């Protein structure tokens, strides 16, 4: 398969006989040097394992569900056929530099959180977008294209290409205890992150 074929491949989902999603191709999170694809790390397994580990780390300070949700979304953009093509072309290359000069894989999950999870989604958007380089600024005045406001635009474009996978992952998220137990916190976060004139 050529690079152009890999880049334009659509990863279609269908339900199997047991009602679980099956993908036309296995989606991968990471490749391994000099290894066949069946030895690479599948994306959904990576997201699940990361979510379980993040939840365990965050449980002692009451943020287990936040960590669970952020981890499920952190590499959502890797479902994009462009990232999958990148892994196939660059097998053996460290993908940690992927967000720099290539298609940004973390912004799709940030856009998904921002657009689909209401007010508290912005908090997750910051966590997801910053999982490699640290928390971004909102306004581009100081950081240019690295600002969350800019990255969400690109993330929304990427998200459109992976909507079936994004919906599948969103079903695994847990409701935030902060949103349910302390609605005032939601309002405060909304006010700080969005400003008094913006709505969710």
pTM of the model: 0.73
Interatomic CA distance for residues 200 and 198, integer angstroms: 7
Confidence of residue 159 (pLDDT cuts 50, 70, 90): very high
2-11, 31-40, 48-57, 143-152 — most confident range: 48-57
Confidence of residue 28 (pLDDT cuts 50, 70, 90): confident
- Residue matched to tokens 């079903």: 171
What are the residues facing 22 on neighbouring strands?
14
pLDDT, position 145: 83
- Residue matched to tokens 């919906």: 167
Domain limits, the chain: 3-194
Interatomic CA distance for residues 166 and 23, integer angstroms: 13
Query: Which residues are CB-neighbours of 14 under 8 A, at least 6 positions away?
Result: 21, 22, 24
Interatomic CA distance for residues 86 and 158, integer angstroms: 14
Interatomic CA distance for residues 120 and 186, integer angstroms: 7
Ramachandran sector of residue 19 (left: φ over 0; alpha: ψ -120 to 50; beta: rest): left
What are the tokens at 63?
């943020």
Interatomic CA distance for residues 48 and 73, integer angstroms: 10
């Amino acid at each position: 398969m050529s690079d152009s074929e890999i880049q334009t491949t659509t990863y279609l989902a269908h339900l199997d006989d047991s009602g679980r999603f099956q993908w036309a191709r296995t989606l991968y999170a990471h490749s391994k040097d000099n290894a066949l694809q069946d030895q690479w790390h599948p994306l959904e397994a990576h997201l699940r394992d990361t979510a379980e580990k993040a939840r365990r780390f965050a449980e002692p300070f009451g943020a287990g569900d936040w960590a669970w949700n952020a981890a499920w979304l952190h590499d959502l953009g890797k479902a994009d056929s462009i990232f999958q093509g990148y892994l196939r072309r660059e097998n053996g290359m460290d993908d940690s530099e992927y967000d720099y000069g290539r298609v940004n894989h973390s912004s799709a999950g940030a856009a998904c959180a921002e657009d689909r999870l209401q007010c508290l989604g912005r908090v997750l958007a910051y966590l997801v977008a910053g999982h490699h380089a640290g928390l971004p600024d909102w306004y581009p005045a100081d950081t240019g294209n690295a600002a969350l406001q800019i990255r969400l635009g690109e993330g929304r474009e990427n998200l459109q290409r992976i909507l079936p996978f994004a919906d599948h992952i969103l079903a695994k998220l847990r409701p935030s205890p902060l949103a349910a137990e302390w609605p005032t916190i939601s309002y405060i976060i909304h006010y700080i992150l969005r400003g008094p004139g913006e709505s969710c």
